[in-house]
Structure 1
Amino acid sequence: MTDIDKARAQREALANAAGRRTAGPSRTAQATERYLGAALYEARHGHHEKAADEQDTEQPPDAPPTTQEPPHSQTT
C-alpha cells in the first residue's frame, strides 16, 4: 500500500467515523478537470465554441463569395 493509498484509507475512515461518506472528488476538482480537459481538447484540435459575446465573422451560406484576396496571398 502506497502513502497515497494509506492517506485515502485514513480519510475515508475518519469520514465514516464522523458519519459522512466520501463519494469521490470535490466539485472544485471536477470543475478543474472539466476546464483542463476543454483546454487540452482546444489545444489539440484548434477550435472552440464561440462565446455569446463573440461576433460571427463567417459569411452566411447564401452570401456570394468575396473577390478580395487576403493580404498574405498577394505577391510582390
Structure 2
Amino acid sequence: MSRRSPSSTVVSGMVVPAHWTPEQALAVAECLQAMREALWLLYGPQMQQAWREQVMPTGSPPEFDPDAPF
C-alpha cells in the first residue's frame, strides 16, 4: 500500500496539494483554463467526436419486443 503525504488530498481521482496558498491554486487554475481553451481551439471537433464515441453504445440497438414488460 502506498503512503500519501498529509499535505495532499485526492479529489476526483487526482492528487491535489493541500499546502498551496490561494494565490498558487488560482495560478494553477488559470493555467489549466488557458490550456483547456487552447485545446478546444485546436481539437474541439475531434474532442467532441471522441466524447461521443465514449458515451454512445456501439453496434445495433437491442430488438424491440412490444410484449416485454418495462
TM-score for both structures, normalised by structure 2: 0.34
**Greater gyration radius:** 1
**1 or 2, which has the higher strand percentage?**
2
TM-score, scaled to structure 1 = 0.32
